[in-house]
Structure 1
Amino acid sequence: MISVEEFLEDNFSGIRLEGSLYGQAEIGIHFELAQDFYQLNDDGTLNKEMFKVVYSEVLAIFHALFSEEDKILLVAQVYKKEGGKHKRLKVFNRRLKNWKLKYRIEASTLPDLTEEGETIQRFSLTCKKQDLRYIQIIQAACHEDFHKLTPAFGREYRYPDVFFMNVSKKLIFFIYDDRGCEVVAADGGTLLPVYENFKKLVGEYDRERIKRVLLKSRFDH
């Protein structure tokens, strides 16, 4: 069993596990979700059609990145103001198909504070895709800015971050909210077919640069 720290050190040395992974890593893709939709309708109500598109696009990317055989590290980070009390994160509650895995959840408080002076409690679980109700987890990640939507991770101070780490393929997938998601990898060859299949979700301004990086990395390896 590999720890989060070991996985990061072996494959992503120097990268902090936080939002904007794409800005830290040389090899990665940033996807813009539901590009032709807006979150609200003209009458101010929530645009449910937009969220259907978001779910569909994120799930398709997830399936392209994770197979049934891949070993996954599911990582969740909870943020608290310094001195605040942490509670067990709800991301794992009722979202494990194999309920026995809850006894294998690792929890730790990180030694460093965030730039905002927050403490971070990290929960991690080694599992496989079929062990998870991953659709619920993905949808909850997309609901960060919409507190009334379910499923949700809950909010006590600020919304937690959830990362899917593919230990087998050496990549990290992160959904930051309904607007987008990102994936970083140790080897660009792993992401090249994913880029080709989903490049319509990549900003036109960034497509050629990403393709060059992925091709270069593939040949370097």
Structure 2
Amino acid sequence: MKLNDYFHTHFDNSDILEESFAERPLTLSLDLQKELYQIQPDSDELNMEYFDKVYQKSLTLFEDLFHENDRLYLIVRVRKELHSPPAKSTEIFERYLKNNKNRYALEFEKKEVRDEEEVIYQYARLLPSRKSLRYKKLLQAICNQDFPELYPRFKSRQTYYPEIYFVNPGKDIILYIFDDRGCFILLNKKETLHRLKETYKSDQSDGFPVEEP
């Protein structure tokens, strides 16, 4: 099944990634670290204890949502100004997939953003399992994107950093870790939402109350 067909069938909206997750009823917003800060107190130095905890939390969350043999979509979206040169978004697949020989397995779509002078280049690939992905490094790169001193991180060739989405089509879960601060999890089953709310009760974002549908 193509990605847009999957979104249309399981989330009633083939453009689900265009919407604000905060406006969806079955959404959970989590902080990756609440107790520490990126910078050490009374210093300009990065607080590596903070980043170590962020890396571990993102890894724990990912492995909870994507079990060893679950299929998953890896989606990469790059925003550009409308009349700028095309974006090359395939480097994420080249760097973080363990076997990327079949380039034709990528689904590509170009989307113009409504009411804005932007265009989104979207690439997606369905992977047989998380074992196909160097996901520990990829999660670290997502969390490191605003900190040039840290590695791994994305190359800043584009106007914006890439947006990375992970989708579990067997469990109808969309995970979007936006940076070191936190993530959104979009679901379509109340039972899954209840389980995750209980599991990650202490990590829920204070400024984002989740309302039941």
Query: What TM-score results when the alignment is normalised by the length of structure 1?
Result: 0.85
Are 2:137 and 1:159 equivalent residues in the alignment?
no
Matches within 5 A, 1:98-117: 98-110=99-111, 112-113=112-113, 115-117=115-117
2:26 aligned residue: 27
Deviation at 1:20, TM superposition (A): 4.3
Cα 1:80–1:59 change in 2 (3 A) is same
Answer yes or no: is the 8 Å Cα contact 2:72–2:168 preserved in 1: yes
Q: Deviations over 1:116-173 (max 9, x none)?
A: 4211100101002110001111111112322332212222211110000111101100
Instruction: Give the equivalent residue in structure 2 for 1:74.
Output: 74
Q: Give the direction of change, closer, same or farther, for the CA distance of 1:44–1:90 in structure 2 (3 Å limit).
A: same
Q: Is the 8 A contact 1:90 1:153 kept in 2?
A: no
- Cα distance in structure 1, aligned partners of 2:189 and 2:114: 28
Mark the CA change 1:184 to 1:139 in structure 2 (over 3 Å): closer, same or farther.
same
Name the aligned partner's letter for residue 53 of structure 1: K
Q: CA RMSD in A?
A: 2.1
SS of 1:100 mapped into structure 2: coil
| Deviation larger for 143-152 or 31-40 | 143-152
Higher helix content, 1 or 2: 1
Q: Distance in 1 between matches of 2:147 and 2:185?
A: 23
Q: Structure 1 residues 93, 205: closer, same or farther in 2, change over 3 A?
A: closer
Counterpart of 2:188, as a letter, is A
Contact 1:79 1:160 (8 Å CA) reproduced? yes
CA contact (8 A) 1:78 1:89 kept: no
In 1, Cα distance between equivalents of 2:34 and 2:102: 37
Give the % identical residues: 30
Q: Aligned-pair distance for 1:89?
A: 3.4
Q: Determine if contact 1:164/1:173 at 8 Å carries over to the other structure.
A: yes
Q: Where does residue 52 of structure 1 map in the other structure?
A: 52
Distance 1:88 1:204 in 2: 34
Instruction: Give 2:56's aligned amino acid.
Output: S
In structure 2, distance between residues paired with 1:19 and 1:59: 26
Aligned residues: 208
Structure 1 segments of 4+ aligned residues over 4 angstroms from their partners: 204-207
Query: Relative to 1, partners in 2 of residues 1:36 and 1:54: Cα closer, same or farther, differing over 3 Å?
Result: same
Q: TM-score, normalised by structure 2?
A: 0.88
Q: Which runs of 5+ in 2 are unaligned?
A: none
Amino acid at match of 2:39: L
Give the drift of 1:84. Answer: 1.3
CA contact 1:77–1:121 (8 Å) conserved in 2:
yes
- Structure 2 counterpart of 1:80, one-letter code: K
Give the deviation of 1:47 after TM superposition: 1.0
CA distance in 2, matches of 1:144, 1:126: 24
SS in 1 for 2:164: strand
The Cα shift of 1:115 comes to 4.7
Which of 153, 171, 174 does residue 172 from structure 1 map onto? 174
Q: Decide whether aligned partners of structure 1 residues 10 and 79 sit closer, same or farther in structure 2, where only a CA change above 3 A counts.
A: same
Distance verdict in 2 for CA 1:76–1:131, change over 3 Å = same
User: Aligned letter for 2:159?
Assistant: Y
Counterpart-to-counterpart distance in 2, 1:8 and 1:166: 11
User: Partner of 2:146 in structure 1?
Assistant: 145
